[in-house]
Structure 1
Amino acid sequence: MTALFGLLVLGGLLATVAPRMLARVRWAAREPVLALLAWQCLVVAVLLCCALALVLATSAALPPVRDFVFTDAPHGVEAAYGLADAEGWGRLTAALLAAGGLWTAYSLSREVRAARALRDRRSAELAHRAPELPAGLTTGKAAGRERLVVLENVRPEAWSLPGPSSRLVVTTGALQQLTARELAAVLSHERGHVRARHHWLAQSAQALASGFPGVGVFSAFRDQVGALVELAADDRAARRHGRITTALALVEINSGRGVFGGACAPQHLAETPQRVDRLLTGEPRLPVHHRLRLTVAALAAPAAAVLLAAAPGLASLV
């Protein structure tokens, strides 16, 4: 049972202590993609700890499951885990972890259904306000990929609508207010969201946070994903069109929303001034060797869960 309790302890530490440490790192704004990887590895490690602990607990509670798990294991591996005499603890732990797993699956499916319904509704609105061109007029490499949709609206806005046939939506107000380079930067930002599948990441983070509101790692993951995907998309636009152009585009498209100097800026736009300052400052990326070390450290979290689960069996073979 050492591996089972070890997995539960490791999962608890990763879910409570690690998010606080990761949320305070100073390099996240310089390397948002790497920070996203670190948060994903942390969440995957927590889920791995729970899943592997569920396998061990179920094996302790149900001898047929234990026989199946250790069917082809070498002699002595099954005994090394000490599951035969822990049926009581195994039943309780397995019941709790199974309930958590089922609730996680339900939360994810609920979030996916809600996101799909919202996407379908917005697609229908777009089709009504900006009908599709007749067949044969949308040919070429761009057909079947993202399409540019222009809406009649004096307010400068741009957003992406992901899906099997993604949309990049821009208003006539944005076309009039932005220069050609600024418009290209805005579209590159939105295209970055679509191509990096940021909506999948946001949906998963929201599902975990809403399904387990008391688990700090999931709520922190949701909050950090919302900020980091914007920084990553800003960097994509800045690499192609320049930091100054991207910063000016952010200012122009948000100038009438109370973001700069306003006291009632919308919550999802509150970080816009910091994003503009970051682009104008233009801090360099971390050195390659530093990024490599951070990547290895991020991958170490899920690897530790797997090694901890396999440790008794590996020790019995030595």
Structure 2
Amino acid sequence: MMLPLALMALCALAAATAPRLLARADWPDREPVLALWVWQCVVVGLLLCCGLTMALTAAAASSVVRGNVFAPAPHGVVEAYALSAYGPWAAPVAVVLACGAAWTAVMLTREVRAARARRRRRRAELLTRSPLLPGERPARYRLVVLEGDRPDAWWLPGSTPHLVVTTAALRRLDGRGLDAVLEHELDHARARHDWLLHCSSALAGGFPQVPVFAAFRDQVHRLVELAADDAASRRCGRRTTALALVELNEDRGVFGPCPAGFARVPERVDRLLSPAPRIPAARRWRLTALATLVPAVPLLVTLVPALQALR
């Protein structure tokens, strides 16, 4: 039973320390793409710890599961894991973790279905407000210009993605500002931020008692916007991108008492106008490698008995 206990100890250690270390670090706002990678590695590592523990305890509790898990392994490898010594706790632990895995799948499925339903409704609204012209066929991407009194732009993912801009935004933004807004939205599409948002929301909604998942969701929502801001600023300049953010959001009152959902806009503008220097490339590579070790460690720990048996 030592190996499952070691895996769950690793899971608890990563869940407790990773959010604190990232909150204290001075680099995530300067390197949002790297910070997103680190968060993903942490969460994948946690899920791997739980999944490997479930597989080992289920193999100890059931000969059928054991035959499937260790089917390609030599007999000596199975003995190295000493599954018969796990005791009566193996079955309950496996059942609890299997229920957690099933609940995770349910929450992710519900999140994706809800997102698809929202997208279908919004696409239907767009077709009503901006129907296809006679003879026009839906292209791979569709640029939609809507009549509207409020400047706005957004990306609507789906089988036929839509890039939507209101006429008020076209009137208010100059050419460079509009390019910055469009580049921001296109970066969301290229990086598939929508899937990252769905996964983080599903975990946080499915396990509200687990603080690391709530922190993951909150940070993902913040970091994807910073990453898209950086992509726009690389093409159009930081000042242009900041002015475009101001032009799009000043009518919403976000630079006074911020309404819900827009509280981070002033911080994003300040970050663009007073940029902190990027961290050195060598440090970026070190952080990337360290983050990759987070999901690799549970795998290596699990393989230790097998590697010792095969020596």
Name the CA distance, whole Å, in 1 between partners of 2:16 and 2:135.
54
Task: Give the TM-score taking structure 2 as reference length.
Answer: 0.96
Name the CA distance, whole Å, in 2 between partners of 1:86 and 1:282.
54
Structure 1: stretches of 5+ with no match in the other structure = none
State which drifts further: 6-15 or 26-35.
6-15
2:226 alignment partner, one of 225, 231, 235: 231
Q: Does 1:171 align with 2:171?
A: no
State which drifts further: 78-87 or 162-171.
78-87
Match of residue 154 from structure 1: 149
Q: CA deviation at 1:72?
A: 3.1
Match of residue 111 from structure 2: 111
Asked if the contact 1:2/1:81 (under 8 Å) is kept, the reply is no
Match of residue 10 from structure 1: 10
State which drifts further: 231-240 or 284-293.
284-293
Q: Does 1:61 align with 2:56?
A: no
Name the CA distance, whole Å, in 1 between partners of 2:135 and 2:12.
55
Q: Which runs of structure 1 show a deviation greater than 3 angstroms over 4 or more consecutive aligned residues?
A: none
Q: Secondary structure at the match of 2:145?
A: strand
Name the CA distance, whole Å, in 1 between partners of 2:190 and 2:264.
23
Match of residue 274 from structure 2: 281
Query: Once the two structures are superposed, what CA deviation does each residue of 1:2-35 show, in whole Å capped at 9, x if it has no partner?
Result: 2111111111222222222223221011110000
Q: CA deviation at 1:87?
A: 4.5
Match of residue 72 from structure 1: 72
2:208 alignment partner, one of 207, 213, 226: 213
The code of the aligned residue for 1:26 comes to D
Query: Once the two structures are superposed, what CA deviation does each residue of 1:123-172 show, in whole Å capped at 9, x if it has no partner?
Result: 11111111123334x6xxxx733221111111111111011111111111
Structure 2: stretches of 5+ with no match in the other structure = none
Name the CA distance, whole Å, in 2 between partners of 1:179 and 1:67.
66
Query: Once the two structures are superposed, what CA deviation does each residue of 1:42-86 show, in whole Å capped at 9, x if it has no partner?
Result: 010011111111110100100222233223323432222121132
State which drifts further: 234-243 or 85-94.
85-94
Shift in CA distance, 236/61, structure 1 to aligned 2, threshold 3 Å = same
Q: Secondary structure at the match of 1:71?
A: coil
Q: Does 1:201 align with 2:196?
A: yes
Match of residue 253 from structure 2: 258
Q: Secondary structure at the match of 2:73?
A: coil
Match of residue 38 from structure 1: 38
State which drifts further: 282-291 or 228-237.
282-291
Asked if the contact 1:155/1:173 (under 8 Å) is kept, the reply is yes
Q: Does 1:192 align with 2:187?
A: yes
Query: Once the two structures are superposed, what CA deviation does each residue of 1:202-251 show, in whole Å capped at 9, x if it has no partner?
Result: 01100010000011111111000000000000011001111110011011
Asked if the contact 1:3/1:311 (under 8 Å) is kept, the reply is no
Q: Does 1:180 align with 2:184?
A: no
Q: How many residues in Structure 1 have an aligned counterpart in Structure 2?
A: 311
Q: CA deviation at 1:317?
A: 2.9
Q: CA deviation at 1:88?
A: 1.1
Match of residue 243 from structure 2: 248
Name the CA distance, whole Å, in 2 between partners of 1:104 and 1:60.
23
Asked if the contact 1:189/1:236 (under 8 Å) is kept, the reply is yes
Q: Secondary structure at the match of 1:149?
A: strand
Q: Secondary structure at the match of 2:252?
A: coil
The code of the aligned residue for 1:222 comes to R
Match of residue 292 from structure 2: 299
Asked if the contact 1:189/1:234 (under 8 Å) is kept, the reply is yes
1:269 alignment partner, one of 238, 262, 283: 262
Name the CA distance, whole Å, in 2 between partners of 1:116 and 1:47.
25
Percent sequence identity is 55
Q: CA deviation at 1:308?
A: 1.1
Let me know the Cα RMSD of the aligned residues: 1.4
Q: CA deviation at 1:178?
A: 0.8
